[in-house]
Chain A
Amino acid sequence: MRVPQALILFLSAASPLAAEATREPFEVAALVDSFDFARIAEGEGYRFDTETSAGNIAVLDHVLQTGARTILWRNCSGATVRYQSKEESLCRVEAPLDKRRLPDNRPVHGWLRYYEVNPDILRLILGVCHDRGLRAGVHWPFEETHWASWTFGSWNLENPQYWAQTRDGRAWAGRCSLAYPEVVSHKLRLVDELLARGMDHLFIDTWRNGGWGPAFEYVQPELDRWRARHGDEPPAEAADPLWCSFVAETTHAYFNKLRKHLDSSGRAVRLMVGISDAGSDPSKPDAALLKSGTDWRRLVTEKSVDALVVMSVNWKEAEPLESTRKIYRDIIAFCAGRCQVLFPVQMYDFGKRGIPSYCRATGLSPAEIAGQLLKIAWEEGADGICMECVDYNNYGPPVRARMRSLLSNECRFKRVTATQ
């Protein structure tokens, strides 16, 4: 629930201390993937044993050095969960015990068994976050494989009848289709497991789609639905915006069910949706629609989500920061208070949109870019920033220092804009 802006303005004018007490902090969210800490060498061994309580708490301590106050902990890789899930317990969630998974052969990584570790990792870390007064949530990629066969989920492998299908009839284990009610029910049972572990924020990351996309949604229920509506066959080209929009209807229905399910849980759980490659022009189909079958503008318009997390934007090489600001401004204007908006301060650079690419384009240091991006987000009226993902020292000491400095001072609270 947001505090009415008029009240904020009144309190601000009445008393600086009272104003500070009521102003909303500028949110600093961190996506945390403990798996990525598991191979950090130290001496003859490893710095973090992420299958232990101490190891995970050490990961959290490291992440907090960035100034993060919202922790979104990864619950899975693909559909391979990282807690003691009943829903994802059959068959054995590791290779070679399930021979349909090919083993991860990297030392340590390939031998992690988060799904059977005691204590339950997710319950532990969300509890520690609560104890420390942090916002505690889950980073749940919109994927059932994380680009590798060892991440296929056990429920998925048990239920091939719900698998994705290409237009030419090829079954693919990479994902079960949300067009089947049984799949949605399965997802909601997983949500229940997350709720039972203390999740207050659920961040669905549509950029991480595991190679899935509308090309894999030629499943029978969708074919039937298309034929019923259009009286003909779906477009042959899976990237056809018409087909992608059609698929997005099913995704949208899923998000609405998710929203309803969270609301009925009796807890105030914030639903956050992450999108990538965001552009300014609402008239053009964007990556979220074409690659992840997600219509984020509709989600915002219909207030289906509480927070939009922009994970990357299509800034221009010639004017990196200026074009970034323009896109931020357009997105803020589009959202118009219908949901919170978090912008990226992103060290990951898979799409050549993160801090390393800004550095190359501007000649500025990572600390300078991180500071600039943070300030632009704050100045344009965002509710906060999101870091993807905080790994061991990828936000290096100068970056962390710069961010903490801003977050302790001018960017401590959300900016109250003139329009507010």
Chain B
Amino acid sequence: MSHRAARPSPVLTIIVPALAFAVMATDSPGAGERGEWVCPCGQPTLITSGHGNDTEPAWSPDGTRIAFQTDRNGDLDLAAVDVKAGTISILVGGRGHACYPAWTPSGDLIYSFGDHHQTAVAAAVAKSDGGYNLRMLEGEQVRALTRGYWRDYTPSVTPDGSWVYYASTRSNIENSASLWRLSLREPNEQECVLHLDSPSTGATQPSVSPDGRVMIWCQMDGFRGNWRLRAARPEDPGNSLALTGEKMSAYAPRWAPDGRTIAFTGFRSGDPAWQIYLLSPVANVTTRLDTGPGNSRNPAWSPDGKNLVFENKRSGFYKLFRVEVNPGRPTATATPAEPILKTECAARVEFSETGARWVCANGTIVPATIQGAVTFTGAGGATLTGKGHIALESPPGLDYGTECFYVRMKLVADAFGGGPRIAVVGQYPQHALGWQIFLNEAGRVCFNSRDPKGSYIGIMSDLPVQLGKPFDVAGVRDGEGGLRMYIDGVLQSSRAAGATMSYAGATAIALGRRGGGPPLTGSILAFETGRGYPPGIRPPLTMRELFPEEHR
């Protein structure tokens, strides 16, 4: 196989600033720059054929075999193709779905297995093992690694062979999946490393870089969003950054053996189908490989980093193809658009024994509008009996546009139920309930923003509030429409995306309910809103922190 670098056309080079952040600078230093990455690739070669779909390839550590899942016999089985001879052998067959093969460094195979031959009701009544659980194929022996009525899937093994990282629905309630890991050494401890549990929120396909420094995965934050690649330090996946932008659907990331390049499946508007992309996080550039017609998905590297195997459907079935690649080192870089790290408070409230006043962005002091019964307890805050609220009309500085902003308050709730109990609402010309913090029916704290159509996009706390006990809640709408919530400084598992409404100047802020519905009863101890991340909350990682230049 020869490189096709001499022919420019098949080396379709996409030149993009690849990296996107939770908080984008308005005058992004990367916005006008273009990294360029010419990545030669060879002619794709078919390596499996026949009836059925062959998918999810994984190259063995010794380079001799490629494991994959196949439905050629109906349900999903695991098979392997001998790289030299081209012969295919079934590794795991029989009833049930065996899928998502991942090799250990020693050549064992970990995979996900589920066997659902009953109806859902019959299985539930019989308390059958209805989950997808991890298994390990050691030689010809199969060992169960996990059990239970959950889905454990998309495993990968750390380069040192000590852990399996995987997606799992363990303990999740919503339409969601979290990231877990399982020790392959006794006593096989198992732990959740990234808990995500809100509707259509989840992460799959985690993997740790060859040097162990960085973990990547793909994540969806609500059904309105796209799958995006994210990265973090393995010891702190909660503080992650996005590697791909919101406009692109990106999933199935795989580290190159040298740890400098990530291959993944992607689609951007204008692409003819699913494509194989390469990403250099250090150089901040992405390139699309020319793998021919039809969907190309799920790339996996050869151990020497010179080939990719992927699935393609040009023949009607998904079949495995192999292509020679030479990612090298990108000759140019795009300066990442780093997040705005500074916080700018736009409005906060100060309490006194006689009332409250607002401290606004421009330094002006405005007496608060008090309507109804509000009792002030000095600098400690205000007590709401449900019959009054504290407002600021036409506050300056709340014209957040599509930028990152936060809303933070400390409060004590005396009751919940009967409907949403509004703690604070930001009113805008675009929507009278532009953003809010409230207690829902179940006593969970909710924070919401809006999409451009004005539709509600919201998240909630992991647990209901404890009545009578002070708590701090901070809601963040990042610069890409993602929502995060922190309770007493702890990031909550709920996520949402698509909250990209552009906020013009606010018409009012109101603490406590203004209008109908059940009131918030309790005390408001502090409130502020502003641009960026709230004080005391750790801002997101930067690209340079996670992928420093010396790793180029």
Contact = CB atoms under 8 A, between A and B. Distances in A.
B223 A145 contact: yes
Contact of B124 (A45, A99, A145, A150): A45
A211 interface: yes
B251 interface: yes
A51 B121 contact: yes
A173 B223 CA distance: 9
Contacts of B455: 211
Contacts of A238: 452-453
A104 B175 CA distance: 4
B202 A211 contact: no
A18 interface: no
A215 B452 contact: yes
In this complex, the member of B132, B295, B453 whose beta carbon has the largest number of chain A beta carbons within 10 angstroms is B453
A112 B120 contact: yes
Interface stretch (B81-89, B241-249, B517-525): B241-249
A209 to B, nearest CB: 11
Interface string B166-192: 010100111111000000000000000
B273 to A, nearest CB: 6
A213 interface: yes
Interface string B441-466: 00000000000110100000000000
Given A148-B175, A173-B249, A174-B223, A44 B116 contact: no
B173 A107 contact: no
Nearest to B132: A96
B116 A172 contact: no
A61 interface: no
A161 interface: yes
Interface residues of B, number: 60
Interface string A30-54: 0000000010000011101111100
B269 A169 contact: yes
A161 B271 CA distance: 6
Interface string B220-232: 1001101100000
Given A96-B167, A97-B76, A150 B175 contact: yes
Contacts of B268: 171
Nearest to A46: B121
A323 interface: no
Interface in A148-168: 148-150, 152, 158-161, 163, 165, 168
Given A149-B200, A171-B269, A100 B227 contact: yes
Contacts of A213: 453
Given A158-B295, A174-B223, A102 B119 contact: no
Nearest to A47: B121
B121 A49 contact: yes
B123 A99 contact: no
Interface string A128-153: 00000000000000000101111010
10 contacts: A46-B121, A51-B119, A100-B227, A103-B176, A105-B173, A147-B199, A161-B267, A169-B247, A171-B267, A174-B224
Given A46-B124, A90-B53, A117-B119, 6 more contacts: A92-B71, A107-B149, A112-B120, A160-B249, A169-B247, A174-B224
